[in-house]
Structure formats: structure tokens, C-alpha cells
Amino acid sequence: MLQHDVAIVGGWLAGCRAALEIKSLIPTVDVAVVAKTHPIQSHSVAAQGGIAASLKNVDPKDSWESHAFNTVKGSDYLADQDAVILLTKEAPDAIIDLEHLGVLFSRLKNGKIAQRAFGGHTHNRTCYVADKIGHAILHELVNNLHCNGVTIYDEWYIVQLIFEEGDAKGIIMYRIEDGKLEIV
Ligand SMILES: Cc1cc2nc3c(=O)[nH]c(=O)nc-3n(C[C@H](O)[C@H](O)[C@H](O)COP(=O)(O)OP(=O)(O)OC[C@H]3O[C@@H](n4cnc5c(N)ncnc54)[C@H](O)[C@@H]3O)c2cc1C
């Protein structure tokens, strides 16, 4: 049986970022990330256009409220509005965190992160890395996982979660290459 303090199910942009956040809060925690794909085959690497945040580098009239309204409207009012408020309020800080992790955002002439128009947004607020935002972020997140000692199980397929008294305590997974089963 393999042992880790935390095993994150689903490895790429969301999972990697979660793993790094845990390591930054408690560096001694032993964190693993499990994904059925290799990073370059993930959904995350396909993202091209950019990532929205009301940094106001191009449009000083932008605001998190406007970003929130665009997001809720773009979801045909189906989005969880509490989650949208959190997302749009924290988005500028999340971009700066990514920059500090090493993501090479495209720049304005004054050196600030460039922002452009994007479908559904009423202000120029999309930060981008040419047309490779997903690839660029994933590249740095995976680098940072290696630097922080996070174990990566890529091309391992999770078949079941193990619950004890309602809490997820482990996973059953198999290696896609040869079908080897493991309990974490
Ligand atoms: C063509 C394209 C363009 C896009 N453009 C943009 C854009 O410009 N801007 C933007 O913000 N968003 C864009 N997106 C959306 C964005 O890429 C996704 O919302 C984001 O990547 C989701 O990240 P994630 O980490 O949640 O999911 P994923 O990257 O899909 O990661 C999910 C992980 O779960 C793992 N997994 C799932 N089931 C199992 C299992 N049973 N066992 C083991 N592992 C499992 C997968 O292997 C994977 O690692 C685009 C998406 C596509 C496809």
C-alpha cells in the first residue's frame, strides 16, 4: 500500500494548484497528485485564449463586480453566485501568484501583464501567454510540484474512493500501462 497525507484526485490545473497551496501552507505534508492522463494530454493544456481577472492593467474602469456579472450572465444564470463572487474577487491575486510561480504572461510596453478582449467579457481583462495559456501555466505548476517534492502519479486511473465513516480516506487506482493495482 502507498501512503501519503493528501492524495489529490485529478492532476492538472486545478489539482496542481491545490497541491502547491497545501505545500505552501504546511511544507511537511506529504502530497500526491493522481491523474489518468499525462500533463500534455490533459484538458488544461488545451486552453489557449487566456484567463480573466480584473487587474485593470488595460481598462481602469474594470471591476470584480463587472467580471462577476459577465460570468453569471455567461452561465445563463445557472452558476453558483457565491462561487462566482469568490472567483472574481480573488482572480487578480491568483494571477499575481501564478506570475510569482514563473508563468511568462504576455506583457504591455510598460511591463505589466497584458489583457485583451474575450467572448462574454465587457472589459479587456483576459491575461494571456500568446495562444498557450494552459500549456504555460501547467508547465510552471508541474515544475513547482517537482521543486516542492509532490509525488505525481500520471497515467494512473482511479477506480474507487475508499470511505471511512463518510470521509474519503484512500483511493484504489491502476497503472494504465500495465494494469498494476495500488491502494493509496
Ligand atoms: C480547447 C479548449 C480551450 C480552452 N480555452 C480556455 C481558455 O482560453 N481560458 C480558460 O479559462 N479555460 C479554457 N478552457 C477550459 C479549461 O481548459 C478547463 O476549464 C480547465 O483546464 C479545467 O482544469 P481542471 O484541472 O479542472 O481539469 P483537467 O485539466 O481536465 O484535469 C482533470 C484531471 O482529472 C483527471 N481524472 C479524471 N478522472 C480520473 C480518474 N478516474 N482517475 C484519475 N484521474 C482522473 C484527469 O486525468 C485530469 O488530470 C479550454 C478548454 C478547452 C478544451
Query: Contact, 114 vs 107, CB < 8 A?
Result: yes
pLDDT tier for residue 96 given thresholds of 50, 70 and 90? very high
Global pTM value: 0.91
| Percent helix / strand / coil, the chain, rounded to 5 | 35, 25, 40
| Same domain, yes or no: 117 and 65 | yes
pLDDT for the residue numbered 44: 87
| Same domain, yes or no: 127 and 57 | yes
Cβ 120 under 6 angstroms from ligand 1: no
- Domain stop point among 95, 114, 131: 131
Task: Report, as an integer, the average pLDDT of 112-135.
Answer: 97
| Same domain, yes or no: 81 and 93 | yes
pLDDT for the residue numbered 145: 94
Whether 144 has a pLDDT exceeding 90, the answer reads: yes
| Same domain, yes or no: 67 and 120 | yes
Task: Report, as an integer, the average pLDDT of 135-157.
Answer: 95
Cβ 92 under 6 angstroms from ligand 1: no
Q: What is the mean pLDDT of the chain?
A: 95
> Which atom of ligand 1 lies at the shortest distance from residue 15's CA?
25
Cβ 71 under 6 angstroms from ligand 1: no
Gap from CA of 37 to ligand 1 centroid (Å): 11
| Same domain, yes or no: 100 and 124 | yes
- Domain stop point among 107, 131, 155: 131
- Domain stop point among 87, 104, 131: 131
Cβ 158 under 6 angstroms from ligand 1: yes
Cβ 39 under 6 angstroms from ligand 1: no
Lowest mean pLDDT among 35-39, 124-128, 138-142, 172-176: 35-39
Q: Which residues of 78-111 are buried (b: 16+ CB within 10 A; e: fewer)?
A: eeeeeebbebbeebbeebeebeebebebbeeeee
What's the number of domains the chain is made of? Answer: 2
Phi, psi of 169 (to 5 degrees): -115, -10
Gap from CA of 46 to ligand 1 centroid (Å): 8
Angle, alpha carbons 58-21-80 (nearest 5°): 65
- Percent pLDDT > 90 in the chain is 94
Q: DSSP secondary-structure letter at 39? A: G
Give the structural domain span for 26. 1-47+140-184
Cβ 121 under 6 angstroms from ligand 1: no
Cβ 87 under 6 angstroms from ligand 1: no
pLDDT for the residue numbered 166: 95
3-class SS letters over 48-100: CCCEECCCCCCCCCCCHHHHHHHHHHHCCCCCCHHHHHHHHHHHHHHHHHHHH
